[in-house]
Structure 1
Amino acid sequence: MKLANTKRINEKIMEIVQTKQALDMINAIVTNEIANSSLPQEAIEPTIAEAIEQRKQMDNNNGKDYSVEKIAMLLAIETLIRITIPVDTKILDFYMNCLAPESMVFDAEEFNNNPYIKNIDFHNKKQGNYELCYQNYQPYEFSIYDIPKHIDKIHIDIPRIGCFKEEFEYPGIRQIDNERTWMSVTPNEVYTVQPAIDNAKGKVLTLGCGMGYFAYMASLKEEVESITIIELEQDVIDLFENSILPQFENKDKIKVIKADAIDFMKDINDGEYDYCFADIWIGIDHIEPYFAVKEVCRHLRKTKVDYWMEDAFATLLTYNVWNEIIKSFSKINNLEVSNPNPDPSETDLRKEAFIHRLLKNVEINKPEDVDYYLTPKNLIKLINKSKLIF
């Protein structure tokens, strides 16, 4: 990457630095700790009482029309941030103003009426090392329900946090040997898979079976002719075909093929399927299979391919882009910068090397170029044009 040493570019970078470091620290706390915690049972009632008072003040000041439950949720998150890390009040207020519109108190009735949750029974069904089960969210148990919201210009990524105000039961698959949840239909699954459901049409291919949530929801659409599922694990196939698929209204649309997804994609013809949804990774910590699928799908032009959580992967990679910008900025200004990740994993090193190669010939000649390359959707465009192997 080549960075022009101009006053406007230097000012742009310093402007981002001033806000990004503190806000990224808060983000890390919210994403890694608060998003997996709950408001203690004994704290719910006093927090709601405080939320009621704040709601009255909002009414008096013509403030934002947030429900008492959402205000209580935000109060709880703010308190957890304050007791976890020391943070400047102005910075925290700014962060909470960004977080508030992206936060959500889920409607339990809406989720209970989701066709999959409503119609597919998960009681007492086992296959090999897997069993269908139900799990519970406790009141005000926080979770991430969608990809982060990218804030342009300052380039921070606000997590989308949600909770139920009452206990909520949702279906999942548990591994019997270690009693761990392998997969579940949480709000995160519902929200992050919805774009793929909306795009599905014609002859559909999906890589990864999981619980069959995408296949079920897509099969309900009249414009979906057929759905071919590629799954490698026989236990997963057996569990799906014996316990889940028989409950589908449109089971005749579904076909399951036991195969490795990457090998299967190497052999299909462009246009053989109208749409493909790739979902063979657990989350954004598993970026290698995401790239493996993208690389094997490069020859497809007539088949539209969507990748689960792709925007989240791009958001993660923009941090590597930022590090490349800072390295170039430091070099031309003779500054010493500490390593943001002194103990990188093998995957961290691969991400760093990939972004370095991707941006090798990029030139930053104006402040708008900084904004462009730090925007996740633009990074996806750059990756799609590249022939680099991760």
Structure 2
Amino acid sequence: MEQIRQDNHKLFALLSSYLNHAPDLISEAEIGEIVQSGVSVEYAFKLLLAAKFGLDILENPGDKELFHHYFDPMIHLLDLGVYEQNPYYRNIRIPSVRIGSSELKYEGYKPYEGFVCNDILQTAEGRQIPQIGFFPAEFKYPAVLEQGRIWMTVTPNEIETMKEPITDAFGHVLTFGLGLGYYAYMVSEKDNVDRVTIVEINEDVIQLFQEHLLPQFKQAKKIQIVHADAFEYARTHLDQDSYDYVFTDLWHDVSDGIDLYLQMKQIERQHPGTRFSYWIEKSIQCYI
């Protein structure tokens, strides 16, 4: 187990540096050279990433083991068409507009740029395997920027990690965090969802959504937006109003999500009759 913990730590350190500082480290030309030897594009990406991490998977037994246990289940060549056919992508158009410090626009992944594409996979033996995806061509995704910094997005990661909370939602749904309205859009389209209440504290984000996105929702009549702090609302309204399903999405990633997740879990314990779910919960639990 100690060796597995060391492997987890080593891999996370390597990935953190890669994703934060050089996610476009691998080029199309490099991929093209390697696939000429007969390997797949996905495997070529794995080999290149391992080499750029300084791993010697031919001569070093430890590096070879690390590659075997992590890189195969970690790296994924994603299908552009699958995500372009997502209902939100098909039906919602994102204008380039700014309100206050918030800006609505499209951002993009470059060809072969790596990014987190799903929750961390935890194996029975304790290995924690991040899920890293890449596209073979440029991929555009909706985003909200705060003071020029990407804050909210609808990327493959959001699409994959929200599948279960979307499938499970029913009745009167309460969601903490608006973002670009992806979750609200998807659950509002469900026949077994009657109402969707969204609690959001950022007035600029609410205005962007109400003016430019909500009018495009076919089921806009199901949606109510409340300008409030999530925890204050949870403490004062969960007893007063009847909610069947609560989804919390208040964090940017695991690093800023743990404390908020634990706070909401305390509130959840006070409402055993309501179903709660949380964005990237599996990943957060790996750090608790």
Matched AA of 2:212? S
Q: Secondary structure at the match of 1:295?
A: helix
> What is the match of residue 273 of structure 1?
243
Change (3 A) 1:78 1:209: same
**Pairing 1:162-311 to 2, within 5 Å after superposition:** 162-175=133-146, 178-267=147-236, 268-269=238-239, 272-286=242-256, 287-311=258-282
- Asked whether the equivalents of residues 265 and 296 of structure 1 are also in contact (C-alpha less than 8 Å), the reply is yes
Structure 2, unpaired ranges of 5+: none
Change (3 A) 1:74 1:263: same
TM-score, normalising length: structure 1? 0.68
Structure 1 range deviating more: 231-240 or 204-213 = 231-240
1:96 aligns with 2:56: no
Tell me the number of residue pairs that the alignment of Structure 1 and Structure 2 aligns.
283
Structure 1 range deviating more: 102-111 or 268-277 = 268-277
Change (3 A) 1:73 1:233: same
Matched AA of 1:76? L
Distance 1:249 1:70 in 2: 38
Matched AA of 1:73? F
Change (3 A) 1:271 1:102: farther
* Root mean square deviation, CA, Å: 2.1
1:313 aligns with 2:252: no
Change (3 A) 1:262 1:77: same
> What is the match of residue 321 of structure 1?
none
> Radius of gyration: which is bigger?
1
Q: Secondary structure at the match of 1:316?
A: coil
- Asked whether the equivalents of residues 270 and 302 of structure 1 are also in contact (C-alpha less than 8 Å), the reply is no
Structure 1, unpaired ranges of 5+: 1-15, 56-67, 318-390
1:25 aligns with 2:10: yes
**Pairing 1:152-171 to 2, within 5 Å after superposition:** 152-153=124-125, 155-171=126-142
Structure showing the higher strand proportion among its residues = 2
Query: What are the Cα deviations for residues 73-99 of structure 1, in whole angstroms up to 9, with x where unaligned?
Result: 11221112226x999722222222232
- Asked whether the equivalents of residues 125 and 132 of structure 1 are also in contact (C-alpha less than 8 Å), the reply is yes
Q: CA deviation at 1:311?
A: 1.4
Structure showing the higher helix proportion among its residues = 1
Q: Secondary structure at the match of 2:255?
A: coil
Matched AA of 2:9? D
Distance 1:284 1:295 in 2: 18
Distance 1:86 1:100 in 2: 13
Change (3 A) 1:75 1:258: same
> What is the match of residue 92 of structure 2?
120
Distance 2:260 2:117 in 1: 22
Distance 1:202 1:159 in 2: 33
Distance 2:12 2:107 in 1: 27
Matched AA of 1:33? S
Distance 1:124 1:314 in 2: 36
Change (3 A) 1:22 1:269: closer
Q: Secondary structure at the match of 1:299?
A: coil
TM-score, normalising length: structure 2? 0.91
Identity of aligned residues (%): 31
